[in-house]
Structure 1
Amino acid sequence: MSRLAAPLWFAHALRVQRGPMPWSAVTRGALAAGPLLLAGVGTGHTARGVLAAIAAMLAGINDRPGSRRVSVKRLGVPALAGALGLLAGTYAGQGLAAVPLTLVLTLLGLVAGGISAVGAVASATGTQVLVGAAIGAGMPAAESGWQRALAFLSGAGWLLVLRLALPTPGSLAGDFRFDGERAAVAEVYDAIAALLDAVGGERATARRAALTAALDHAQDALAGPRLRRYIGSAAERRLHAQFAAALPLAEAATALFWSGEPVSARTAEGPRRLAAAVRGNTSPGPLPAPHRSAPALRALDDALLHAAEAFDRGEGADRGLVGRRRGIGSALRAALGTGGREYGLRVSVCFGAAAAIAQALHHTRWYGQHQHWYWLPATTVFLVKPDLGPLASRVLCRAAGTVLGALVFAGLAALLPRPAGLIALVTVCGALVPVATRHFAAQTAVVTVLVLALVMAGGEPQASVSRIGETLLACALVLLVGHLPMPRERGGGVRARLAAAGSAAHAYLVHVLGESDDHAERWALRREAYRTLAEARTAIALAAAELPALARHTAGTDAVADALERLVDTTTACAVHLDDTGRLAPRHVRQLWDALDELKLPQGEVPLPAAV
């Protein structure tokens, strides 16, 4: 008898992200929210200190591993949006009655929800603008809107200063500014070596996916803002050259993966030495050459030779290749497309309904003396975010984390002195936020303790019971709205991701079979094809883990992603083979037609090389 498997939505709720302990982020967290609250209390501006600590906490949630320069956008853009939301919410709350205020917040939810569908930074931006608007509208304060926004910006700005100034592990090996970029590029070479080791084995597919993730991470790290647009430092040029040298290596390794024939252990030694050279900021020395017995192996040998030359001179990178970003037009299409419309409508309904319910309950006995009706709409903002996991999973995690955090705080609040004990508790929770982000329930528990401590430090009574009640009400609201029928919008996010992946795969295939000599363009198209495919797979996996009523709307999309993946892998193998022989083998042609037939793509739109 086979063992019963847990439902996907429940299994997802138990899943914890793994990785090394982020000690640098823990240090920054300890130096952010708690000291900011202490400064506010010590100077007699407690309310501003609370707002600064809230901003630092939200920035800490976005403080993920990566390069310093990318952190400017990852932390700064959402913080700026949060300050603007706080500013708008404050003036709207002061000047509008309950009904017009609810309508304004509902409209803001529609816009912010659509923007959130663009990408990770846009999602954090939409979240913070709504949280800021809810706090501004619902938190009573004597300060003006611009004073509150300035306090919010100062809190997030302080954490960003810490991110840019404090050293991280490995930052002393070479230029201090580029430790995150250096680690990201080294991980690409390690991923290439791991794929070569796994060629022909059961783990090869997972290793190829890991290579895509490493390339995406490095591309993002190198695309951060620059002080000088055209002429960077020697260290920056060297890193760009090293990343560009990894692209033909990744292409050759993918072609070997497609062939399915194992290679010798010697083949992976060269990329490993290149990874060590990137990390240590040293020369790789002589690289062992693989056997040149097949087109993909010859391509790998040529790529290793090119990499050795690039490492020695530290030049030759195509800055446009590694810095290519999706434009405003692409972002608008994502925000206004099916995925953006679906998410925007749900955020709008949840946020607006939560604001209306909270204001209706504001003066009832259930709320008592606690002046924080903004908690309910702010909670729905996090609950309605699909990038935090399937709906049922995140609701379960949010409820469990809130109950745990509220009970822990209730016990600590009875023992700790005020305000010193509360400031110490905020400091500890700030340090725990980067670790707790690995699981939504753990993050919720830590944030709950931190927020309740800030509320009490601001002069309000202990609010654990009302916090639990409001969270459970928000969970019920989001579950209800999440299952409301929305004709022609169900699964829109997954379909939009698949459509983008299909377009990118088609553009890559047309370029390769068109026999263009522009290798930089080919590698850029290949990156976009694999990147959009990885995004589609992530969206499909989340949708599959929803409750059956929602998961059925995206049934079968994983098969489409599998077919697209085979098409892109085959296209990569074709590119390498055409470079070496000038013609395609029968196996290449057969698998191309099979993939096109499976995807129902018109073969007449694909130009065949003259040598076929």
Structure 2
Amino acid sequence: MSTERTEHIPSGRPRHRPPAPPAWLLKGLRPSTAPIPWAAAARAGIAMAAPLAVGFALNEPEYGALVSMGALSGVIGDTADAYRMRVLNIAVPQLFGAVGVALGTLVYGHGWLAVGALTLIALVSGMISSIGTVASVSGLLLLLNAVVGAGLPLPQPWWTAPLLLSAGGLFVLLLTLLGWPLRGRQPERAAVAATYRALADALDAAGGPDYDERRRQVTHALNQAYDLVLGRRARVHGRSPALVRMLAQLNVVIPLVEAAPAMHLRGRPLPPEIPAAVRDLAQAVEEGRTGKPVLDLPAPHTPAERALDAALQHAAAIVHVPEPDLHNIDDRLGKPAALTVRARRAVRDMMLSGASWRYGLRLALCIGLAQTLVSVVPVERSYWVALTVTFVLKPDFGSVFSRAVLRALGTAAGLVIAAAVLAEVPRGWWDVPVMVVLGALIPAFSAKGYAFQTAAITPVILLLSDLLNHQGFDLIRPRLLDSLIGCAITLIAGYLLWPESWHTRIGHRLADTVDDAARYVERAFGTHPDTDAGRQAARTARLQARRRIYREMSGVRNEFQRALTEPPPTGVRAAAWWPLVVAVERIVDATTAARVRVNHGAEAPADEEVAIVISDLRALAEGVRRVRTPTQLRPAALPPGDEASVLAPVRQELAAARAIAADDDH
């Protein structure tokens, strides 16, 4: 069907408008509103240009280019906030990158042996990329550097290139760590303060139409803060007073977050003193302020108001305490396992994961086809084909289809910049100031989107390739052709041949979340031991279940955003799930509010009502798991219940979710 639109004018003759670009493409080309990371841009410019200057000074420009290539991988991987995480994000991938370029160098010029080796490396790279962020970057560098080593004549002996590339990455790490003595704990502290501010915004919006979006922002801020603080704690031996204090300040946010849905269900705004008090706590966290807190809050009357008041009083006391108890920290979410234990679990899960094998095989197939093609058909400097395949199939950048299109557009834009540089700038020392500018553009453009990142990286790689190959302007045309070939291989062998690429997994992930909601209801209102230890264990299990649900919902939203960038019909089918996604979020909020009300004086629901809600949630999950779109659901009638029960809002949200499916069905 044509996207051409007509507009009737007074004469009655239709006026045709030109076809508009599809929405999924416009979404990828629209720059993000994320701020430009100026400090990262300055570091990138220095890290990329300094090795070139040293190389020219020593009359070894090829060595300088290789160090700059290593610095490029460090710049791409420097995405974390906390310094300890940045060490992992930069240093660990450098080890994999060194192994990759060493393996690539060893098979350089060996024809079909190189094809087989790169295909096997692609399988390993794809599988380890599914473990997590650091593993994803490590898998990327393993394959990218192997492709470069197998496609370019690098300095000998074989260990020279790995050493130089690693030096570039470690140089980026050194520049990154210069600020650690001055602001070592600042990222974690800022993340905790941001959680309080996000919560204050949600409380401001309670009772109004903006609450749901503000609550999602709280979930995102809470996830980020726990990732930073718990990630750091796992690497700190013993008890650090500063770390314990930050963890305590973060833990006491949880009761406030739990009380927010109960206040929202009242349907009217909160007194302004409450959000103001939470913002003052955020300021105290950021400044490290201690002393006796002064709170001027309205008197609570209902169970929900009592819950919020008690949580706020407790949070104020913990935030302002000067010396937390190092041995009695309220570790609500449980102690994280040691890094070695988590690493073993990650490897085991990867080996047993069908999704991990499928992605690895998909990447291996595309790389194998790319290398086979350039081995059979003479393609000038053919390593760029496999590089394109690797970047497009990167698993955490969104839709494969849209990435392929955006990669082609970004490469074309980058080639325009590269053409101007190679045509107008003399080779030699002039490359140094040019690289300062081009290197700084990488973090700045990466914050704006994938196509913009590609446009920034392309001229950098071409300029460094020219220092190794001395082809000058002749690099431009082959690079565009190679990029188009790589995108075509990815679209055919990495997208069209895999039916799972055509379907969204929102329904499956949403069904898992509804199952988690059923478990949460069971833990929130089920019978628990009467001992203090039993009650504490039940509370910890309930909090862990709740955090898991909200993390799952964040994953569902990410999957939803990814699916929207797919072309029709996948993107259209994804949009159909959105009302049900919101409905499930409201079910979880209503359950949390019910538990908070019971904790502060409301009557607990009957066991029969709890069993009905749990059964209905599981039935909804099973129905969502079976269908491809919500329109295929056949919801059954919800049994009547006590409207005065604390679970009445949960049953109402369940009825709303069923009504969504029923409305879609007609």
What corresponds to 2:655 in structure 1? Answer: none
1:186 to 2:196 alignment: no
> Residue 256 of structure 1 contacts residue 296 of structure 1 at CA under 8 Å; is this kept in 2?
yes
Q: Could you tell me how far 1:444 is from its partner in structure 2?
A: 1.0
Secondary structure of the equivalent of 2:212?
A: helix
Kept in 2, the 8 Å contact 1:69–1:221? The answer is no
Of residues 29, 34, 39 in structure 2, which corresponds to 1:19?
34
- The 10-residue stretch of structure 1 (187-196 or 493-502) with the greater mean CA deviation from structure 2: 493-502
**Structure 1 letter corresponding to 2:248:** A
**CA offset digits 1:63-118 (Å, max 9, x no partner):** 22511112122222222222222222222336xx3223212222222232222233
* Coordinate RMSD, CA, aligned: 3.3
The 1:38–1:234 alpha-carbon spacing in structure 2 relative to 1, beyond 3 Å, is same
Query: Which of 454, 461, 466 lines up with 1:456 in the alignment?
Result: 466
Residues 419-448 of structure 1: per-residue CA shift (max 9 Å, x gap) = 112122222121121111122122111111
Which of 309, 318, 328 aligns to 1:310? It is: 318
What amino acid is the match of 2:487?
A: C
Q: Alignment partner for residue 375 of structure 1, among 360, 384, 397? A: 384
Match in the other structure for 1:476: 488
Residues 288-437 of structure 1 mapped to structure 2, 5 A cutoff = 288-313=296-321, 314-315=323-324, 317-318=329-330, 321=333, 324=336, 328-329=344-345, 332-333=348-349, 336-361=352-377, 364=378, 367=380, 372-437=381-446
- In 1, distance between residues paired with 2:299 and 2:522? 31
Cα distance, 1:414–1:497 mapped onto 2, change above 3 Å = same
Q: 1:271 aligns with which of 253, 273, 278?
A: 278
- In structure 2, how many angstroms separate the alpha carbons of the residues matched to 1:76 and 1:504? 36
Pick from 119, 127, 133 the counterpart of residue 114 of structure 1.
127
8 Å CA contact 1:560, 1:599 repeated in 2: no
Gaps of 5+ in 2: 8-18, 529-534, 625-644, 648-666
SS at match of 1:223: helix
| Shift in CA distance, 381/501, structure 1 to aligned 2, threshold 3 Å | farther
Match of 2:86 in 1: 71
* AA of the residue aligned to 2:536: D
CA distance in 2, matches of 1:252, 1:443: 41
**In 2, Cα distance between equivalents of 1:492 and 1:77:** 33
Contact 2:80-2:89 at 8 Å conserved across structures? no
Structure-1 separation of matches of 2:106 and 2:508: 37
- List per-residue Cα deviations over 1:445-503 (Å, max 9, x = no partner): 11111111111223421211111111111111111124334367865865774465455
Q: Closer, same or farther in 2 for the Cα pair 1:145/1:580, shift >3 Å?
A: farther
CA distance in 2, matches of 1:335, 1:513: 37
Q: What is the CA-CA distance between 1:189 and the residue it aligns to?
A: 0.2
Work out which of the residue numbers 203, 217, 237 in structure 2 matches 1:196: 203
Identify which of 277, 295, 313 aligns with 1:287: 295
* Counterpart secondary structure, 1:231: coil
CA distance in structure 2 between the aligned counterparts of 1:77 and 1:559, rounded to whole angstroms: 41
| Alpha-carbon distance between aligned partners in 2 of 1:327 and 1:261, rounded to the nearest angstrom | 48
Contact 1:258 1:569 survives alignment (8 Å): no
1:187, distance to aligned residue in structure 2 (A):
0.6
1:491-510 aligned within 5 A:
491=503, 497-498=509-510, 501-502=513-514, 504-510=516-522
- Identity, in percent, stands at 32
SS of equivalent to 2:49: helix
Q: Single out whichever of 502-511 and 157-166 deviates more from structure 2.
A: 502-511
1:220 corresponds to which of 227, 239, 252 = 227
Aligned partners of 1:56, 1:323: CA distance in 2, in Å? Answer: 36
Q: Which segment drifts farther, 465-474 or 394-403?
A: 394-403
In the TM superposition, what is the alpha-carbon distance from 1:62 to its structure 2 partner? Answer: 2.6
Distance 1:40 1:46 in 2: 5
Mean Cα deviation higher: 339-348 or 469-478: 339-348
CA distance in structure 2 between the partners assigned to 1:81 and 1:492 by the alignment? 32
| Corresponding residue number in structure 1 for 2:498 | 486
Q: Distance in 1 between matches of 2:239 and 2:403?
A: 43
Change over 3 Å in CA distance of 1:70–1:200 after alignment to 2: same
Corresponding residue for residue 137 of structure 1: 150
User: What is the aligned counterpart of 1:237 among 244, 264, 269?
Assistant: 244
Shift of the alpha carbon at 1:206? Answer: 0.8
Q: Is 1:10 paired with 2:25?
A: yes
Q: TM-score, normalised by structure 1?
A: 0.87
SS at match of 1:420: coil
Relative to structure 1, is the Cα distance of residues 88 and 550 closer, same or farther in structure 2, using a 3 angstrom cutoff?
farther
**2:451 matched residue in structure 1:** 441
Query: How many residue pairs end up in the alignment?
Result: 590
**SS of match in other structure, 1:581:** coil
For 1:160 and 1:512, how far apart are their aligned partners in 2? 46
Q: Tell me the secondary structure at the aligned position of residue 107 of structure 2.
A: helix
| Secondary structure of residue in 2 paired with 1:388 | coil
Per-residue deviation, 1:383: 0.7
Query: What SS does structure 1 have at the residue aligned with 2:310?
Result: helix
Distance change in 2, residues 1:552/1:45 (3 Å):
same
The 1:507–1:430 alpha-carbon spacing in structure 2 relative to 1, beyond 3 Å, is farther
Secondary structure, aligned partner of 2:93:
helix
Contact 1:564-1:595 within 8 A present in 2 as well: no
Inter-CA distance 392–269: structure 2 relative to 1 (3 Å threshold):
same
The CA deviation string for residues 308-343 of structure 1, in whole angstroms up to 9 with x for no partner, is 221233425445837637664366436643432332
TM-score normalised to the size of structure 2? 0.80
1:40 aligned residue: 55
What does the per-residue CA deviation read over 1:125-175, in whole Å, with 9 as the maximum and x for residues that have no partner? 2211110111121121132333322222221111112222236xxx95xxx
Q: AA paired with 2:202?
A: L
Aligned pair partner of 2:598 in 550, 556, 578: 578
Tell me how far apart the structure 2 counterparts of residues 419 and 479 of structure 1 sit (CA, whole Å).
39
Q: CA deviation at 1:181?
A: 0.6
- Are the aligned partners of 2:55 and 2:63 in contact in 1 as well (CA < 8 Å)? yes
CA-to-aligned-CA distance 1:16-44 (integer Å, 9 cap, x gap): 22233312211211221111222233234
Question: Which protein shows a greater Rg?
Answer: 2
Contact in 1 for aligned 2:98/2:145 (Cα 8 Å) = yes
